[in-house]
Amino acid sequence: MTPSAPFVDPWQIHPVQIVEAVPESEGVTTYRLRYCGGGGKADYAFQPGQFNMLYVPGAGEMAISMSGEDRQAEGWLHTVRLAGVVTHAMSRLGVGGVLGMRGPFGKPWPLDNAQGCDVIVVAGGIGLAPLRPALQQLSAQRSAYGRLALLYGARTPSGLLYRNDYATWQDAGWQVELTVDRHEPGWTGRVGVVPQLFDRLRGLNTGRTVVFICGPEVMILFAARAALARGIPPQQIWVSLERHMQCGVGMCGHCQLGPLLLCRDGPVVRYDHAERWLQVEGL
């Protein structure tokens, strides 16, 4: 009956401070957070794909994936789009503001399992945020992986996130393919939907290719189908899914998708474990 792990109260919220807030695009900001007082939870570490519950007193909590580690390797990043009560409250706090945090929670991208494989990262809009730590780690361990490709799209060119990173990733050996839904002045790149970018990848070694997808649910479905259509088996496709996560640890029932408790069994799940449920309306 006694839990074997050291007893952690998953409900305990720790104060964290916003040390930087960088605007990314219209309504999207990347916050750098650090535990208050520097010490205490200095050992905080997360794996790419996991999420934190961020809390603003009076407004409430929300689940947000980590979008990168801070340059000083102290603290971590969250890219947040203004949407509801909590995100607005967070934006009002600004730099220096203190909020609460629980985490990290959830299953990460299976980067270790992907070693020795080609990796295709597919992202739509703000869906690049939970993949960015994976891109960073794959780049840092470049030699452990085969060919690396990023297929990324947004509604508009100004909606593309982390534009300063693309060159860095290309230098690390990534094939970076971009597209937008709608043209804007100055955009000379592609216009079209993300799954079409699979056409830019020639000579796939499908048996040894792993695909990571995150974005709007419809985009995830079409991107996964594009990968399947090119012969990549469903067991090698991983997707990050979103439902309303509230406890973060699988005991409140909010984030169910069929048999999956997405906060606990996800947010990153193998496509063949999710496909059947994603296709049922209102599940």
Question: Can you give the binding site for another protein, defined by CB under 8 A?
Answer: 1-3, 5, 7-15, 57-61, 83-85, 88-89, 98-100, 105, 242-244, 246-254, 256, 258-261, 264-265, 280-283
Q: Which long-range contacts (CB under 8 A, 24 or more apart) does 176-181 make?
A: 176/149, 176/150, 176/152, 177/149, 177/150, 177/151, 177/152, 177/201, 178/152, 178/153, 179/151, 179/152, 179/153, 180/153, 180/154, 180/155, 180/156, 181/153, 181/154, 181/155, 181/156
Shortest reach from residue 244's CB to another protein, in Å: 5
Shortest reach from residue 11's CB to another protein, in Å: 4
Residue number with CB closer to another protein (99 or 239): 99
Residue number with CB closer to another protein (84 or 116): 84
Residue number with CB closer to another protein (7 or 185): 7
Residue number with CB closer to another protein (104 or 157): 104
Shortest reach from residue 191's CB to another protein, in Å: 25
Residue number with CB closer to another protein (11 or 207): 11
Shortest reach from residue 253's CB to another protein, in Å: 3
Residue number with CB closer to another protein (121 or 247): 247
Cβ(204)–Cβ(230) below 8 Å: yes
Helix (H) / strand (E) element for 219: namely: helix 217-229
Shortest reach from residue 176's CB to another protein, in Å: 29
Shortest reach from residue 222's CB to another protein, in Å: 19
Helices vs strands, H then E, count in the chain: 6, 16
The neighbouring-strand residues paired with 210 are 119
**With the CA atoms of 241, 242, 245 and 251 taken in that order, what torsion angle do they form, in degrees rounded to the nearest 10?**
-30
Residue among 262, 245, 256, 265 nearest 55 (CA): 245
